[in-house]
Amino acid sequence: MKKVFKLSLVAACISMSCVNSSLVHAEEAEEDDLGSISLEDLLNIEVVSATRSESKLSESPAPISVITSREIAASGLDNIPDVLARLAEIDVLRIGASQTEVSIRGKGIIFNRRLLVMIDGRTEYNDLFGVTLWNAFPIAMDDIERIEVVRGPASALFGANAYSGVINIITKSVDKSGGFVRHHIGEDNRHYSNVRGQFKGEKVTAKLSATLQNLDNENSDVFFEGYNRFQTSSNFAADENSLEWVSKANGLVTMQATKEMDFKLGFGMTEGSYELFQQPGLPRTLWDIDTDYVHFISNYVVEDGPAFQLNIYQNTFEYATPLVPSSAAVAALLANDPTNGYAYYPHLATDGIFMGKVDTFDATIQAVGSALEDRVKWVAGAEVREIENRGGLVLDRDKDITSYFANFTYKFKEDWQVGAGYRIDDDSITGNDDGYTLSLSHFINETDSIRATARSAFRAPSLFELFSQVNLVVPGQNQNVSFVGAALVDGGPALEVETITSFDITYTTNLTDTMQLTVEWFHEEYENIIGNPDSGLLQNVVIDGANNQFFTTTSFQNQSITAEADGLQVSVVWIASESLSTYANYRFEDPENLNSVAGETFFTPEHKINFGGNWKVSDKLDVDFGYNYVSKTDSSEFETGNISPDGPNFTRDRQEAYSILNVSARYRPIEDLSLYITINNALDDEHVEYFEYDQVLKGAGEKFGRSVWGGFSWTF
């Protein structure tokens, strides 16, 4: 057990005792000191996402994976989804370079609404649209201490929208005064720059981080099967306006007021333009997005009693977008060429800019304690969440949620542990919703264990699903489509929350002192899945014979289909030597009826294979590599429907399997300075991860190939 290995092997361990984790405390090493750790040390890693309080990873009552800052530094990657893709349970779906969707255990979909993402306990799930805007996070990759991933439902811990799981991003604390700089440039106009300064006093610490980033460019290669080819930017031309820089900043001040009490005050912002919600291959529209937050945390420990934690934050999300190209722009093109395919592209019935603002206030208080000589550990608390929406794509509507939660673990007979948790949300729109978790763990010996869990969770419909109002015109098809929120449709059914129930068994064993094996089986059942407006659920169809036009209304609706999925994850970590560590993980998943949901095309690979590792070539040179293989959904998912070109499964049927190999080399000429080069998709496997179907284009999607960037990082 004394052999050591590079921390970047972390993506290897898919287990409850070594789940993709190489976590050590931040003060023990900086980004460029990749360090070492043993399998035995991994068993004692502390995580917070399993119970809302610190617990050993080996005793976690729920399946958890961890990625650390050292892995991020070794990988050379500059965005969170690419790092997450190293995990077997994570599916990453790139719609475009500036829009990426992330899901857990399949269920990948454009505008993914079924994953809860948090930063230091502050929700980044967008309550307005019900999506996660990954590139709008107010943090840089280098601000992250670790990422904890709860595999599977977690509403018993975190409430609504912790449907398929939770990704909890934990930022770095201040361990010493100094600073950090990282910068790289690359192909396709790729830029990343991060500067961080920090101060550590006797009782007060402070840090400030600023980032400038660009992931996209106006010359993205878009693939078409149809005859119609045109640029992807909203002005129908490739120029410097296709995407602007994104700037981010965040800060944190902490104070140890007394031995029993400490305070943290965080703040941050993001500003930039994004090409969001685009239909691949068709003109995009820029979204000007501004976000900011203020976050206050207080901890008070009662002597010989529980600890009380107060968490309060205020988020503001502002946006401005024309949504789709203006009618005037389309009309001008048609005037020059009446037969042009632009005639089929939907545009606003009335030209204009949608400008909206959403304010979210959240306050949580919880108590954390133990009993029976620490064999019982418990958490109980309450949360109040208020969401206020004004203007934009959604009618002015507010939403309030009051929640109560509790969970505990009880370790008995030294080698058995039982856990349970429950949460109820009182939602001002959907009423009372709840989730639970039950677990039973048996610790066979110091390294081997088995755990069984049963969980349920729910997703509440977003404000956009309930109260949207958008009118589009498709002139070439003589069609006027009104997208109306489900709560606004006359006689339309009220949306119910989506629910999920899961069961899983995880077995972890050390095959040798240098090799660990984890096997995990899971079963998930989904009900009341909400289909989007593309489902063809048309209402109030009116035909205007004089103008040869028809007017339709469409909205989100719960589907009667009950879907499910079975899956298996297997992982191996092998410490080949003190200078070479490797990992391999595999996930098999078999969904049933998931692609039968009207209007929803889920991307659930039948097979996903990852392997990689880190090789310490010398004291100054390290090489990190990671390979991901993503297959198609099993063809049996399409047996009940017409596949192509007009069937509901056209998008998924056109998806091909693809492979991505990432390689990063890091050289340290002097202490605290690293030079690195990263090759993303080194095999240049050009592929389209998401296809869109269109009557004119027949199929379109953005194609991704090899990308190279290089730069430096300096700690001072």
Nearest residue to 566 (alpha-carbon basis) of 605, 521, 528: 521
Tokens of 479: 């069609």
Contact 480, 453 (CB under 8 A): no
Would residue 332 count as lying in a domain?
Answer: no
Would residue 327 count as lying in a domain?
Answer: no
pLDDT of residue 15: 33
CA distance 479 to 486: 21
Contact 253, 268 (CB under 8 A): no
The full DSSP string for 596-615 is GSTT---B--SEEEEEEEEE
Beta bridge partners, 223, equal 701
Would residue 538 count as lying in a domain?
Answer: no
| Beta strands at 165-171 and 116-119: parallel, antiparallel or unpaired | parallel
- Sheet architecture: strand order including 700-704: 222-224, 700-704, 687-688
Task: Note the Cα 697 to chain centre separation in Å.
Answer: 30
The full DSSP string for 625-653 is EEEEEE-PPPGGGGTTS--SSSSTTHHHH
Nearest residue to 476 (alpha-carbon basis) of 697, 642, 304: 697
How far lies 260's CA from each of 297, 304, 307, 342, in Å? 14, 11, 9, 66
Contact 608, 3 (CB under 8 A): no
Would residue 347 count as lying in a domain?
Answer: no
The count of structural domains within the chain is 1
pLDDT of residue 639: 52
Would residue 616 count as lying in a domain?
Answer: yes
The full DSSP string for 651-713 is HHHH---EEEEEEEEEEEEETTEEEEEEEETTT---EES--B--TTTS-EEEEE--EEEEEEE
CA distance 617 to 624: 10
Burial of 75-99, coded b for 16+ CB within 10 Å and e otherwise, reads: bbbbbbbbbbbbbbbbbbbbbbbbb
Task: For tokens 């103008």, name the residue.
Answer: 547
Would residue 627 count as lying in a domain?
Answer: yes
Would residue 710 count as lying in a domain?
Answer: yes
CATH of the domain at 616: 2.40.170.20
Instruction: Supply the range of the domain harboring residue 261.
Output: 7-321+353-460+497-528+560-596+600-715
| Beta strands at 700-704 and 707-715: parallel, antiparallel or unpaired | unpaired
Which residue spans within 126-214 are E strands per DSSP? Answer: 144-151, 165-171, 178-186, 190-200, 204-214
Tokens of 510: 């050390």
pLDDT of residue 234: 45
Tokens of 257: 């007021």
What stretches of 203-309 show up as alpha helix (H) in DSSP?
Answer: none
Enumerate residues 6+ apart whose C-beta is below 8 A from 486. 461, 465, 466, 492, 493, 494, 495, 555, 556, 557
Residue 319, phi then psi, degrees to nearest 5? -145, 155
Contact 31, 6 (CB under 8 A): no
Would residue 425 count as lying in a domain?
Answer: yes
Mean pLDDT by 10-residue block, N- to C-terminus, for the chain (716 residues)? 34 35 33 50 76 85 89 90 93 84 89 91 89 89 93 93 94 94 88 95 96 71 49 47 73 94 95 68 71 96 92 94 73 67 62 87 96 93 96 89 96 93 94 95 92 96 88 68 79 81 95 91 94 58 67 80 92 87 93 78 90 93 95 71 47 79 96 95 89 60 87 95
Task: Note the Cα 214 to chain centre separation in Å.
Answer: 19
CA distance 578 to 517: 19
Enumerate residues 6+ apart whose C-beta is below 8 A from 62. 50, 150, 151, 152, 154, 437, 439, 453, 455
